[in-house]
Amino acid sequence: MLLALGLVCVVEGLIWALMPRLLRRMAEELPKIDDQTLRIIGVVVLAAGTGLVFLSKHLG
C-alpha cells in the first residue's frame, strides 16, 4: 500500500512539475462539469486503477 501511495505521489509530482499551466486551466474548467460526469470519470479511473493493480498482482 505504501508503494502505491509513493507511486501516486511521483506521478502527481511529475504532472505538477512538467505542466503547471495546464493543471491550472483544468482546475478552472472543473466547476463547469456537472457532478454526474465527474462521478462517471471517477468510476472509470477507479476501475482502470483496480484493473492495473489486479494485473500487477497476477502477472508479476
* C-alpha dihedral (26, 29, 9, 36), degrees to nearest 10: -140
* C-alpha dihedral (59, 4, 33, 43), degrees to nearest 10: 40
Cα 49 from Cα 37, distance rounded (Å):
18
* CA atoms within 13 Å, Cβ hemisphere of 60: 6
**Would the pTM count as exceeding 0.85?**
no
- Digit-by-digit pLDDT tens for the chain (60 residues) are 788 889 999 999 999 999 999 999 999 999 999 999 999 999 999 999 899 889 988 997
Domain tally for the chain? 1
Q: Which three cell numbers mark 41?
A: 470519470
Structural domain span for residue 35:
2-59
Radius of gyration over alpha carbons of the chain, in Å? Answer: 14
